[in-house]
């Protein structure tokens, strides 16, 4: 929400800002979609669907690409080993594919913000 507001975007991804500076670096965090809408360059990952449902239901939930939500079904129950070796291990390939797709869509990838 903060980054969207800094760039003058509303909850539907439409630019409503007042400064050319907001548009100047829009492509750092957003891709321009059809209809002059902007979509965040974001991959959202969690081991349980509840947090993803909360993001989708939030005021900016419709901004994100549905394909960029990667989540498991059960979570790790705050157990690091379960998240690392079992539940999380099952999602790694899918996460890498989504991150790769986002990276390949960039003109000049310079880094990741986590």
For residue 9, the tally of other CB atoms under 10 A from its CB is 25
Residue 114 lies in a domain: no
Domain region containing 22: 1-41
Q: What is the pLDDT of residue 94?
A: 96
Predicted confidence (pLDDT) per residue in 75-92, tens digit: 888 888 888 888 889 999
**Could you give the CA distance from residue 47 to residue 59 in angstroms, rounded to a whole number?**
22
Residues 18 and 59 in one domain: no
Predicted confidence (pLDDT) per residue in 25-69, tens digit: 898 899 999 888 999 999 999 999 999 999 999 999 999 999 999
Residue count of the chain: 114
Tell whether the model's pLDDT for residue 108 goes beyond 90.
no
For residue 86, the tally of other CB atoms under 10 A from its CB is 14
Residues 68 and 102 in one domain: yes
**Could you give the CA distance from residue 82 to residue 63 in angstroms, rounded to a whole number?**
31
pTM, whole model, 2 decimals? Answer: 0.83
Q: What is the CA radius of gyration of the chain?
A: 16
Residues 48 and 27 in one domain: no
Helix (H) or strand (E) holding 6: helix 2-6
Residues 53 and 28 in one domain: no
């Amino acid at each position: 929400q903060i980054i969207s507001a800094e760039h003058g975007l509303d909850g539907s991804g439409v630019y409503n800002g007042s400064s050319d500076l907001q548009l100047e670096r829009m492509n750092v965090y957003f891709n321009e979609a059809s209809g002059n809408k902007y979509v965040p360059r974001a991959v959202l990952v969690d081991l349980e669907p509840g947090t993803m449902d909360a993001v989708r239901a939030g005021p900016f939930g419709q901004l994100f690409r549905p394909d960029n939500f990667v989540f498991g079904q059960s979570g790790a129950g705050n157990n690091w080993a379960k998240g690392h070796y079992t539940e999380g291990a099952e999602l790694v390939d899918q996460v890498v594919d989504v991150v790769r797709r986002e990276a390949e869509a960039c003109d000049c990838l310079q880094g990741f913000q986590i």
